[in-house]
Amino acid sequence: MKIRFAGGTDHVGSLGMVVETPENRVLFDYGLTPSKPPKYPMKVPRVDALFLTHSHLDHVGMSPYVCGEYGSTIWGSEVTLEVTVVLLQDSLKIAKYEGWSIPYDIHDVRRFTEESTIIRYGDRAHLGPLSVKAMDAGHIPGSTMYRIRENDGREIVFTGDINTVRTRLLEGAEPPVCDVLVMESTYAGRPHPPRKEVERAFLEKIEEVLDRGGRVIIPAFAVGRTQELVQVLSGIDEEKWLDGMGKRVSQIYLRNSDCLRSPGELRSALKQFRFVRTPYQRNDAAKAPMVLTTSGMLDGGPVLEYIRRAKDDPKSAILLTGYQVEDTNGRMLIDTGSMEIEGQVQKVRCEVQHYDFSAHAGHDELVRFAEMSKAEDIVLVHGDNRKELAQDLESFSRVHLPSGDDEYTF
């Protein structure tokens, strides 16, 4: 069995791994990098199937291409497939609005729906000599790791993105024993603080801002992060608004409630929010004490309107809650204190803080996960600081750091 990569090896974004046997070829994830404009992975040869780990665009953003080009079957959890369609449709709208080229169209997205096949945790798909088993990855609702085996040969586990700690949405992932581990390394070299400490500091900052008469703007990823923060904020007895795609994704999660640790908690927390459905309501939300809104990296969506109104108010605050990819508005804000609004780079004078609500395993969790897998070979992908993690793994495994389209045979 051979593996090679179409992207996402030494950076976060555009992940894709091709598994090839003498009889067939299967792709695992095929994403884009959500920069401005988006960056795309290398073109892959004809594949028989594409397995998606979860619905974030850096893992699924190029999936319609393989439907339109090759008619490949798409596999994923039920919630992953449903949310992915929402994000793909939105990506097409953004590309058209911004004037960016995108290598697929709405017909390919429809083909994606037609070619989709649900795989549940514990299920196995059989494709020629390959057996592919789905396992819980603990990252966002519906996220999946895949155990890949050729006949009775060595077993490869492709993690996609993983999280091993319990959050308000999910239980953490359990390390699967395998021969070869292809593991993400987004937070290599960066441990996470304890989740309860992050939540406490976050809520204390909100109370501080509200006490001084400011407004709180909380940008959040629509997929996963919004739903977690809805529950974190449920104890605050203030007027709260929810805006953007997170509302729609929340309803998808509740319809697929088996993907959540506690659907009742999410349903109850959502009832405490007012939903923005019209421009008039958005005006009301902009005057309210608190708004939770997309997009999480500040590259579009309603968050820009809220920031435009609050950016010069030193009493107000923008509380970032997610990873900010290079070349995004969010990263620019963190690095320079400025961001692009209405086509111009503008200084932001309100308070800006970042809170580590990451749904990725941190450095220490990645080391423990890898060691417990007992893998003889570990392939690190999807990270820009892999060498620091590799140093901690080399004491118990052979570690590989692919770049470009490097090929391995296992």
Here the CATH number for the domain that contains residue 280 is 3.40.50.10890
The answer on 119 and 50 residing in a single domain is yes
- Residues lower than pLDDT 50 in the chain: none
What pLDDT, on a 0 to 100 scale, did the predictor assign at position 152? 76
The answer on 328 and 280 residing in a single domain is yes
The answer on 66 and 135 residing in a single domain is yes
8 A C-beta contact, residue 112 and residue 66:
no
Structural domains counted in the chain:
2
The answer on 201 and 121 residing in a single domain is no
What pLDDT, on a 0 to 100 scale, did the predictor assign at position 404? 85
What pLDDT, on a 0 to 100 scale, did the predictor assign at position 242? 98
The answer on 308 and 379 residing in a single domain is no
The answer on 250 and 389 residing in a single domain is no
What pLDDT, on a 0 to 100 scale, did the predictor assign at position 44? 96
Domain boundary among 309, 326, 354: 354
The answer on 318 and 400 residing in a single domain is no
The answer on 201 and 186 residing in a single domain is no
The answer on 177 and 119 residing in a single domain is yes
Helix axes 78-98, 63-70, angle to 10 degrees: 90
Decide: residue 282, CB within 10 A, 0-12 exposed, 13-18 middle, 19+ buried: middle
The answer on 205 and 180 residing in a single domain is no
Domain boundary among 354, 376, 395: 354
The answer on 328 and 262 residing in a single domain is yes
Tokens of 316: 């107000």
Q: Could you list the residue range(s) of the whole structural domain that residue 185 is in?
A: 2-190+359-409
Domain boundary among 310, 337, 354: 354
The residue to which tokens 């770049």 are assigned: 403
- Domain at 30, CATH number: 3.60.15.10
The answer on 141 and 66 residing in a single domain is yes
